Structure 1
Amino acid sequence: MVRMIVKRVVQAIPMLFAISIVSFLLIQLAPGDPVQAYITPEMGPAEIETIRENMGLNSPLHIQYIRWLKSTLQGDLGYSLVNHRPVGVQIAERLPATLGLMGASLITSMIIGIIIGLVSAANQNKAFDNIATFISYLGISIPSFWFAMMLVYVLSLKLKLLPSIGMRTIGVHTTWDLIKHGIMPTIVLSLQSIATIARYIRSSTISQLKEDYVVVEYASGASKREVLYKYVLKNAILPVITILGMSLPNLVSGAFITESIFGWPGMGQLGITSIFSYDYPLIMAITMFSSLILIIGNLLSDILYGIADPRIKELS
């Protein structure tokens, strides 16, 4: 297991390096100019050129990249080109909100997806199974931005059950207020994962129910509920660990859309703002942090799989 972890960490270093190069080139080649945020009608070409020089934008691309890489390796992520605040400080302020939303979505996805998958498998081809299968296909197919806007329209504007924007109500600092603000973003971010997990659990459970050990347990007098939750679930849940690792890219990319629609003050919203303002240092930092989260998430997925399945541990 230790050898596998070390191997994954070593593999992550060139991966992050390659991601940084591709991201830097894409950002530089994208249309737009961060200098536009500083230009006023009274400025002449000489003043504009001075601003560009002070921002380091006149240097060749490879010099700019080397300068950025050297500062990053020293722990200095630079300063925002728009608000002149340290990039690291801004990410540190926003990271807890994003991790909290992603964590809530993962937990929600696992609990609801596993329950729906087990019940569907236990009632194969019956009414509940058919309805759950249809809803799962919808959950996989529905665009998250459309679903988010529908939730805001129905639950906030029409029924007035939940707040439509932000993380907290101004002047209110209760846990319940935070939960109310997080319900809709969590539902939107976890919908696709719930549908995927439910489908995998259903398929895996149906396969496990045909195994000999299930017949033996029934013959021993075990109830259907006991067989499902005590024996079958333990074997059927293994694919979910892999699915959770695979779903992290969707969670990270979905956070950008979800946080923007609901005004959730996380890294996703900060990333969208930085893209529209051509804030290169902030875009690079958020891209690298998102990549790091994915790599760490996949590593944790491998570790959990090794713990759940001793055969993986032996191979490691």
Structure 2
Amino acid sequence: MTRFVIKRIIQSIPILIIISIISFSIIRMAPGDPVKVFITPQMTYEQIERTRTRLGLDKPIYIQYFYWIKNLLKGDLGYSFINYQPVIKLIKERIGPTIGLMGISMIISVILSIALGTISAVYKDKFLDKFISKVCYIGISIPSFWFAMMLIYTFSLKFKILPSLGMRSIGVKSTLDLIKHGIMPVIVLSFPNTSILTRYIRSNVIDEMDENYVDMLRSKGLNYKRILYVHILKNSLLPVITILGMNLPSLVSGAFITESIFGWPGMGRLGVGSIFNFDYPVIMAITMLSSVMLIVGNLVSDICYSIVDPRIKLIR
């Protein structure tokens, strides 16, 4: 296990380097100039150029990248062009809400999809199965931003049940208030993933129900519910672990959209604001951190797969 983890970490280093080079180049070559944020009508050309030099934007791209990598290896992510604060401080302030939102959404998705997928498979081609399937097709098809706006209109504007913006109400620090603010963002993030996982689990359970070992267990007199929950469901969940790892990118990108719409103070909202303001250090930090999260997520997925199914050995 330890050798496998170390090997995967070593293999991920070239991937991160390639991601950093591509991201750094695209950001620098994109239309727009962060120096414009600092320009005032009274500034002279010399003052504008001094600002560019102070931000380190007067050097060639490869020199800028070299200095960025050098500082990164020292644990220095630089300073935000807009907030004038260390990037690592901004990340620390925002990473907690983002991980909390993504983590809760993933847990809810897994629990609901297991229940709904199993029910849909047991009642195959019946009303309940058709109803769950239609809801899943809706969850897979509708855009997240549209779904978020509909929730805000329904529960915030029309019925005034839930708050529409932020993570807490001003001056309120109760857990109930935090839960109220998190309900709609969690629903928006978990609905598409729940729909996808439900369809996979339904398909896997139906395939497992037709296997010979199920007939053998039933011939031995085992209760069908025991066969379903102990044997069929366990074997059906193996591919789901891989699907969860593959869905991490969509969860991260979904967090960007969701946090922006609901004003959730996480990395997604910080990233979108940084993109519009050409805040290069923050954009690079969030890009690399998101890449690390995806690599770690896939590594955990592989490890969990080998734990659930002992027949699968990790390649050392």
Q: Which residue matches 1:259?
A: 259
- Asked whether 1:79 is paired with 2:79, we answer yes
Deviation string for 1:56-87 (max 9, x for gaps)?
11101110000000000110000001111000
The Cα offsets for residues 124-150 of structure 1, whole Å up to 9 and x where unpaired, read as 000011111111111111111111111
For the residues of structure 2 that align with 1:265 and 1:228, how far apart are their CA atoms?
Answer: 42
Aligned partners of 1:224, 1:175: CA distance in 2, in Å? Answer: 42
Please give the alpha-carbon distance, in whole angstroms, between the structure 2 residues aligned to 1:170 and 1:20.
Answer: 38
Question: Is 1:301 the counterpart of 2:315 in the alignment?
Answer: no
| Aligned position for 1:313 | 313
Amino acid at match of 1:118: T
Tell me whether 261-270 or 128-137 shows the greater mean CA deviation: 128-137
Aligned to 1:207: 207
Unmatched runs of 5 consecutive residues or more in structure 2? none
**C-alpha distance in structure 2 between counterparts of 1:176 and 1:146, whole Å:** 26
Assess if the C-alpha contact under 8 Å between 2:145 and 2:261 holds in 1: yes
- TM-score under structure 1 normalisation? 0.97
**Alignment-derived partner of residue 51 in structure 2:** 51
1:12 aligns with 2:26: no
The equivalent of 1:36 in structure 2 is: 36
- Determine the C-alpha separation between the residues in 2 that align with 1:229 and 1:142: 32
Deviation at 1:266, TM superposition (A): 0.3
Q: Distance in 1 between matches of 2:257 and 2:315?
A: 39
| Structure 2 Cα separation of the partners of residues 225 and 153 of structure 1 | 42
Structure 2 residue aligned with 1:233: 233
Task: Name 2:268's counterpart in structure 1.
Answer: 268
- Determine if contact 1:168/1:178 at 8 Å carries over to the other structure: yes
Q: How far apart are the structure 2 equivalents of 1:224 and 1:312?
A: 27
Alignment partner, residue 106 of structure 1: 106
Structure 1 equivalent of residue 119 of structure 2 = 119
- Name the amino acid aligned to 2:148: A
C-alpha contact 2:110 2:194 (8 A) present in aligned 1: yes
Q: Which moved more, 1:5-14 or 1:95-104?
A: 5-14
- Aligned-partner residue type, residue 138 of structure 1: I
Unaligned 5+ residue runs, structure 1?
none
Backbone CA RMSD of aligned residues: 1.2
Q: Percent identity?
A: 57
SS in 2 for 1:311: coil
Match of 1:191 in 2: 191
Matches within 5 A, 1:64-75: 64-75=64-75
Is residue 4–residue 314 contact of structure 2 (8 Å, CA) maintained in 1?
Answer: no
Runs of 4+ in 1 over 6 A off after TM superposition: none
Moved more, 65-74 or 165-174: 165-174
Stretch deviating more after TM superposition (259-268 or 138-147): 138-147
> In 1, Cα distance between the equivalents of 2:154 and 2:64?
48
- When the two structures are superposed, what TM-score results if normalisation uses the length of structure 2? 0.97
Is residue 32–residue 278 contact of structure 2 (8 Å, CA) maintained in 1? yes
* Equivalent position amino acid for 1:187 in 2: I
Task: Check conservation: 2:4, 2:315, Cα contact below 8 A.
Answer: no
Q: Hey, what's the Cα distance between the residues in 2 that align with 1:234 and 1:2? A: 26
CA drift at 1:307: 0.6
Match of 2:154 in 1: 154
Q: Which amino acid aligns with 1:89?
A: K
> Contact 2:209 / 2:232 at 8 angstroms: preserved in 1?
yes
